[in-house]
Amino acid sequence: MDADLSARPMTEGELRRELESPGELLALQILTGAFAMGVLLFLAVTVLLWIAGSGDRAPGDQELDLFPILTTVNAVLFAGCLVSGLALHGFLTRDLGRAGSTAQFLAGLRGPALLRLSLLEGSALFGIVVCLLGVIQGAVRSLPWIWANSAPALFFLLFSLATFPTRERVVDLFLSRR
């Protein structure tokens, strides 16, 4: 990463001026929105299937025994993805404040941001799959706590909103990495 940084770091004013034109920032915003929309739509389909009464059959005991295991895996997966995503993002963006241009800064931000989103999205999708299995098998009727597996998805959606790459957030990140 150090080899990509120019000799003279850009200033806050240069970053603000260059962020006025669409380009790299817009691409990062579109990718962030696409990640969030995928999770939101999958969660919405799962809830709609539940509302429509999909999986009205009574599940067997063996099917019900699977859900505590899947929920534990989901919790461990979420914790691991959250910690590793945040740590990797911080580690990979630590020198971005020395970037010589806005293009370099945003290119250096894109990879870590997508890595963090990918890890959290994977955990969110796993949780929704557990909920979907519960809906399809009718297990949510006898085990309503299965919906707790949607917590990583809800966290992901809120996290995506809270960290959406607006101009001001990008400038704040730049200033915090100087």
Tokens of 158: 């809120």
- In the three-class reduction of DSSP (H, G, I as helix; E, B as strand; rest coil), residue 137 is classed as coil
Domain boundaries, the chain: 2-176
Would you say 167 and 25 are in contact if contact means Cβ atoms under 8 Å apart?
yes
For the ranges 3-12, 46-55, 132-141, the lowest mean pLDDT is seen at 3-12
pLDDT one-digit tens code per residue, 13-67:
877 777 777 677 888 899 999 999 999 999 999 999 999 987 666 666 667 889 9
Name residue, tokens 């960290």: 163
- Give the span between the Cα atoms of 145 and 27, in whole angstroms: 38
pLDDT-derived band at 3, boundaries 50, 70, 90: very low
pLDDT of residue 170: 85
pLDDT of residue 112: 94
Closest Cα partner for 137 from 73, 46, 44?
Answer: 46
Tokens of 119: 């890890």
18: exposed, middle or buried (Cβ count in 10 Å: 0-12, 13-18, 19+): middle
- Give the span between the Cα atoms of 27 and 35, in whole angstroms: 12
More confident residue, 140 or 58: 140
Sign of the CA dihedral with 11 first, then 13, 18, and 24 last? positive
The pTM of this model reads 0.85
Would you say 93 and 173 are in contact if contact means Cβ atoms under 8 Å apart?
yes
- Give the span between the Cα atoms of 33 and 176, in whole angstroms: 24
Would you say 102 and 24 are in contact if contact means Cβ atoms under 8 Å apart?
yes
- 13 secondary structure, DSSP code: H
The tally of CA atoms less than 13 A away on the side-chain side of residue 39 is 28
Rounded to the nearest integer, the mean pLDDT of the chain is 87
